[in-house]
Amino acid sequence: MSPSDTKKHGDLHELPACAPAGLIALCKVAEGVIQRQIELLGSGKPSKAPDLRKLLAEGGIAKPEDQSTMLTDYGNNKDKMDKVASGYHGKDDGIVVRTDGIGEVVIKAYGAIDTAVDQLNTKIDASHKAVRTETVKDENGKPVHDENGNVVKTEKLPPEIINGLFKGVWDTLNTTFEQVSGVSDQAAAEALKIVGDEPSSDTTSSKNTGGAQPVSYPTSRSSGYNGDTPWTPTPSSIGTEIIPTGAKPTATAMMEYLIRKHHFTPAQAAGIVANAYVESAGFDLEAEGDSGTAKGLFQWRFDRQDGFWRFASQPDEQGKPRNSGDWETHIDYMVQELHSGGYEDARRGIEANPNDASRVAQDFDWYYEKSSRETTGTRQSMAIDLLTEWNAKSVAV
């Protein structure tokens, strides 16, 4: 249950299991996109709201609003749909947003989004009652029997219901995108009473040409900043844990390496390094976990661990031998894994948050480490601390 000054938005109900696979997939990614739009509106950045039509078109689906393309021909477009969907994961019961003390422009947008989503959910709920049970027939029009001689039955949605749901999903998406993108970043920030500028991804400042730029995160932990929208819940609350002083030099060196060699931003590097610290119990490359099955800086297991040993035994891109005892080798292998498939959600989460150390720490934990999520808050807290120190030193220089 949400506090009285918050409200949940963007929850789409489940379609009947017999709905076309393409419609189910579309509805699922639509929920993720709508929730991302709401998050961006609620963080003062509505101009970055995703447009699913554009995302699918850029992903190779030329006519995403054409029903035959998305439903009848879904089998040929499934991989393209899955690739787009991997970056947008909706929460089953919606996302929590702050509603108390914010301006009318955002309240009105939230209300219009709510109305559109409610209308679609009404259609989805009604579709369950429209499901028909039909007899399966062979090519000759005769009933098909199972091995026990019983007539085989199947459930189906009437074509007109499918048509209405498909149109309803796109009507809802069009409304939510128009409502969010129709609010300027400045208007949203004023309505939300956001103090100061949001961290910028612009790295072209003329005052510093020596690599990634510092961003304007608060330098005081008491500011309440946690790298995410202030009212978005996390599985474990962000605490006050920081990287111990003795480990800071190694953490800084790792961040520098990630930024210099692999072109991550400081926030992205902080999120990754915080995870490495937690996973390896303080950057111990020989640390073992999960009853001795997990090893290394990022605690790889089984096939992933075998992959690391193969990687470490091969020369690097300059032909120099790698050393499994160097943390650089562990980081290089982690980066290779991120870009070699299987960890698309982690990579997208990192790329989508160039200035949000907390969100990077969370997504890296959830989708690369795939942990129990019990220590996500610790990783986020440490990432914020690392980035705060990095920015302070960068400004000092």
Residues 178 and 248 in one domain: no
Residues 225 and 154 in one domain: no
Q: What's the pTM value of the predicted model, to 2 decimals? A: 0.48
> Residue 8 is which amino acid?
K
The answer, yes or no, to whether residue 95 has pLDDT greater than 90, is no
Q: If pLDDT is split at 50, 70 and 90, which confidence band does 307 have?
A: very high
Residues 314-357 have pLDDT tens digits of 999 899 999 999 999 999 999 999 988 788 889 999 999 999 99
Determine the average pLDDT of the residues in 24-51.
91
75 found inside a domain = yes
Give the chain's domain count.
Answer: 2
Domain boundary at 143, 175, 192, which? 192
- Length of the chain, in residues: 397
212 found inside a domain = no
The answer, yes or no, to whether residue 124 has pLDDT greater than 60, is yes
Q: If pLDDT is split at 50, 70 and 90, which confidence band does 99 have?
A: low
Residues 180, 46 contacting (CB under 8 angstroms):
yes
Identify which has the larger pLDDT, 217 or 339: 339
**Domain encompassing residue 379:** 221-396
Which of 4-13, 64-73, 375-384 shows the lowest per-residue confidence on average (mean pLDDT)? Answer: 4-13
Residues 19 and 146 in one domain: yes
Domain boundary at 174, 192, 210, which? 192
Residues 128-184 have pLDDT tens digits of 989 999 888 888 888 888 888 898 888 989 999 999 999 999 999 999 999 998 888
Place of tokens 């599985």: 235
Residues 58 and 169 in one domain: yes
User: Would you call 307 exposed, middle or buried from its count of C-beta atoms within 10 A (0-12, 13-18, 19+)?
Assistant: middle
Residues 142 and 97 in one domain: yes
201 found inside a domain = no
User: Would you call 188 exposed, middle or buried from its count of C-beta atoms within 10 A (0-12, 13-18, 19+)?
Assistant: buried
Domain boundary at 192, 210, 245, which? 192
Cβ within 8 Å of residue 397, ≥6 positions away: none
Rounded CA-CA distance 275/284 in Å is 13
261 found inside a domain = yes
> In angstroms, how far is the first alpha carbon of the chain from the final one?
47
Q: What percent of the chain has pLDDT over 70?
A: 82
The answer, yes or no, to whether residue 126 has pLDDT greater than 60, is yes
